[in-house]
Amino acid sequence: MGNRAVVVGGGIGGLATAIGLRRIGWEVTVLERAQLLDDAGAGISLHANGIRALDVLGVGAAVRAAAHPQYTGATRTPRGSRLARMDGRALERALGTPIVGIPRSVLHQLLRDALPPECLSVGAEAVSVDRADPRRPRVRLKQGDLDADLVVGADGLHSRLRTELFPDHPGPAYSGSTVLRAVTEGPVALDADFELTWGPGAEFGHIAFADGRAEWHAVLNSPARTRFADPLTEVRRRCGGWHAPIPSLLAATRPEAVLHHDIDELVVPLPAYTAGRVALLGDAAHAMTPNLGQGACQALEDAAVLTAALSAESTVEGALARYDTERRPRSQAVARAARQAGRMGQQLTHPAAITVRNTAMRLAPSAVTVRTILRHARWTPPVVR
């Protein structure tokens, strides 16, 4: 088996994969097309499966030290009435670790710190992959070509490699929701580590960080590609009259800090995550809605499983077959569950349907919420040999 890999994409999945491959003795080059690593993004929650995948890769301890555990949380109505409680202590007892919140920029930096600087090539855009030699794919860049024994496509939602490998696939589709999010400028007073509030066709949530700041997001039903002249004012119009601490979170946010992205997903599942010696992972393979908080966790699972498969199998082809067999059913099932969670949660608009959902949630014991999270966060990590 050869030992040179090219990873296309320097996001969470790509960096995690590079860390794993280097851990088992591979030479790795990560291609990131951005000219500047600005780490655009707000915050992220990592469930136990994501943390355990990071443990497999050897960086779990560093992420835990920088993150804030989510022990207290709830789902509420705009007036503040509680629909469900999240018991982070119960999750920790069941899984060995709580959900944690961390700024995306901090997570990116921790992953980069685990790699030597020469491993990451910034401003390097992969144009295509030449697979004429089935054992030696060639990544074509605007600046030149790179030969490899393995190419990993971690190039995100609008993956160029996915389009090249599966030209008949329809690609990402708009979910019907758009998200505005930001990190507060300074610390804010919060009564819960994590909270969601559901109004008609809208969700507002926050994640507490270790330094006292918080990430907030507003997910809104909206026509595709709608943009607002003043995003923060739009969030205040939709959610500013909701219960505390939502007004305080918005007041602690600079207007220019608000990010706005439509939520696209791969509704049509891919028939495979591999082709020859090319593997897709993360959003390139299974972009999903954020309703279960599993997008990044599934990418981290991808990285851990791919690393373990390459450490155990005698050929790249055998390792990629194992990776596809293990990852495609699980990640696609999580994507379907996330889509359904959005339809029954934030996307509901009919008053009668909202009343039925809210009543069912109030009557359900807190253990039901825990079991729902456990269904996706419970995962046995692979052994890296």
Whole-number Å distance between alpha carbons of 164 and 169: 10
pLDDT at 39 (0 to 100): 61
Question: DSSP secondary-structure letter at 225?
Answer: T
3-state helix, strand, coil in the chain (%, to 5): 40, 25, 35
DSSP secondary structure of 274-291: EETTEEE-THHHH---GG
Tell whether 235 is covered by a domain.
Answer: no
Does residue 259 sit within a domain?
no
Q: What is the pLDDT of residue 366?
A: 83
Does residue 226 lie within any of the structural domains? no
Q: Which CATH number does the domain housing residue 9 bear?
A: 3.50.50.60
Query: Would you say residue 274 lies in a domain?
Result: yes
Res 372: pLDDT? 86
Q: Which residues of the chain have pLDDT under 70?
A: 1, 36, 38-40
101 within 8 A of 43, measured Cβ to Cβ: yes
Alpha-carbon Rg for the chain, nearest whole angstrom, is 21
- pLDDT given at position 44: 94
* 252 part of a folded domain: no
Q: What is the pLDDT of residues 89-140, one digit of tens each?
A: 999 999 999 999 999 999 999 999 999 999 999 999 999 999 999 999 999 9
What pLDDT, on the 0 to 100 scale, is given for residue 1? 66
Contact 175, 167 (CB under 8 A): no
Instruction: State how many domains the chain has.
Output: 1
Q: Is residue 221 domain-resident?
A: no
Q: Indicate whether 231 belongs to any domain.
A: no
Peptide bond into 329 cis (omega under 30): no
Residues 6+ apart with CB under 8 A from 221: 176, 177, 201, 202, 346, 347, 349
Helices (H), the chain: 12-23, 48-57, 60-66, 88-95, 104-113, 160-165, 231-239, 246-251, 283-286, 295-312, 316-344, 351-363, 366-377
Q: What are phi and psi of 207, to 5 degrees?
A: -130, 130
Containing domain of residue 280, as a range?
Answer: 4-173+265-377
The answer as to whether 371 is a domain residue is yes
pLDDT at 237: 96
